């Protein structure tokens, strides 16, 4: 028997010594380097399915922008209801899959897992009006904060910061409701689309605006107040990673900045550690900041060089 290759040639399987490679891979997978949770094969959530789900949720939240532009007053509720029902059914299955990876404890039986997934999905659906209100505040902040913006539609369709925040707010809700793995997948899809990396565990208040956006990084334990504006390549990161006596990183420890209300952070600024940027402050471009600043501060690169 021969195998046809992409370039039209044919080779025998034995040419590659496949039997030996397959055997060694099996030993690695099953024994030597086994990383399966409790030795069990689990069905992973699907990125493709999650992309379809987020597209459906976008259409539900903003039907004429992300759904169908020709909707009427008579058809819009039917469209929202039908899309939401289909999308939530898909989401419940992905939540169920993701829950298998969310705990180091034994995986619950299928009935309990399905019930938990349905409970999370139901709570998620109940929170959609609140998510929409936050997103509207974000869009309004972009429109009022960017002199180049010509319309709300332009912001919702063309601004990567707006898309990234939409993905974040959906992912944050899933994270808060007890589906952290699925939340990370949703946020990573948003990251791939926009170049903006927001961990779903971060807490971000209303009227949040990321202008331009490429390269922005917001860590898991960051807390951002209301009416905050960031520019491209801003990092809200950790300064150090505490470890236990065995040298294993301690997870979940607050290690990212707190940014209070009405703060503006300009392009390229790097803010590290559990420090506080006081309300109403302005952080200039390319500033490297590892210490708290009081409210109404104006921190520039020249000031940092003088420290």
pLDDT in 10s for each residue of the chain, 307 residues: 555 555 666 656 567 788 888 898 888 888 787 766 555 667 899 999 999 999 999 999 999 999 998 999 899 999 999 999 999 999 999 999 999 887 666 667 889 999 999 999 999 999 999 999 999 999 999 999 999 999 999 999 999 999 999 999 999 999 999 999 999 999 999 999 999 999 999 999 999 999 999 999 999 999 999 999 999 999 999 998 777 777 787 887 999 999 999 999 999 999 999 999 999 999 999 999 999 999 999 999 866 654 4
Q: Tell me the sheet residues that pair with 119.
A: none
In this predicted structure, what is the pLDDT of residue 134? Answer: 98
What element of type H or E holds 83?
helix 76-99
| pLDDT (0 to 100) of residue 107 | 64
d(CA 54, CA 38): 31
Euclidean distance between the first and the last CA atom of the chain, given in angstroms as a whole number: 73
DSSP state of 65: I
Q: How far apart are CA 22 and CA 228, in angstroms?
A: 53
Beta-bridged to residue 283, according to DSSP, are 265, 299
Compute the distance between CA of residue 203 and CA of residue 219 in angstroms, rounded to an integer. Answer: 10
Q: Are strands 10-11 and 3-4 parallel, antiparallel or unpaired?
A: antiparallel
Across-strand partners of 282? 264, 298
Say what the pLDDT of residue 13 is: 57
What pLDDT is stored for residue 267 in this prediction? 97
Name the one residue in this structure whose structure tokens are 């949703």: 186
- Count the neighbouring beta carbons within 10 Å of the beta carbon of residue 34: 10
**Two tokens at 262?**
């009405």
Q: How far is CA 246 from the centre of its chain?
A: 31
Angle between helices 76-99 and 110-126 (to 10 degrees): 140
pLDDT of 302 reads 66
Euclidean distance between CA atoms 67 and 156, whole angstroms? 12
State the maximum Cα–Cα separation within the chain, in Å, rounded to a whole number.
76
The number of beta carbons lying within 10 Å of the beta carbon of residue 294 is 11
């Amino acid at each position: 028997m021969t195998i046809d290759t992409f370039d039209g040639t044919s080779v025998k399987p034995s040419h590659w010594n496949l039997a030996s490679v397959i055997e060694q891979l099996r030993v690695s997978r099953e024994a030597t380097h086994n990383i399966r949770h409790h030795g069990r094969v689990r069905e992973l959530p699907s990125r493709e399915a999650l992309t379809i789900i987020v597209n459906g949720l976008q259409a539900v939240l903003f039907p004429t922008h992300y759904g169908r532009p020709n909707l009427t007053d008579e058809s819009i509720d039917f469209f929202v209801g039908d899309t939401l029902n289909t999308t939530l059914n898909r989401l419940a299955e992905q939540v169920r899959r993701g829950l298998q990876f969310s705990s180091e404890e034994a995986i619950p039986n299928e009935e309990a897992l399905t019930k938990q997934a349905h409970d999370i999905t139901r709570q998620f659906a109940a929170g959609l009006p609140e998510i929409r209100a936050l997103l509207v505040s974000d869009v309004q902040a972009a429109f009022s904060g960017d002199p180049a913006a010509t319309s709300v539609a332009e912001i919702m369709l063309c601004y990567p910061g707006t898309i990234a925040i939409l993905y974040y707010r959906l992912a944050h809700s899933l994270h808060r409701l007890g589906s952290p793995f699925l939340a990370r997948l949703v946020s990573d899809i948003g990251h791939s689309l926009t170049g903006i990396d927001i961990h779903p565990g971060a807490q971000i208040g209303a009227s949040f605006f990321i202008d331009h956006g490429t390269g922005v990084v917001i860590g898991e334990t960051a807390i951002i107040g209301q009416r905050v504006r960031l520019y491209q390549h801003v990092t809200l990161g950790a300064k150090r990673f505490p470890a236990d006596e065995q040298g294993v990183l301690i997870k979940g420890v607050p290690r990212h900045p707190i940014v209070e209300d009405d703060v503006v952070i300009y392009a390229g600024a790097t803010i590290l550690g559990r420090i506080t940027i006081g309300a109403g402050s302005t952080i200039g471009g390319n500033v490297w900041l590892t210490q708290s600043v009081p409210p109404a501060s104006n921190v520039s690169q020249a000031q940092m060089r003088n420290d």
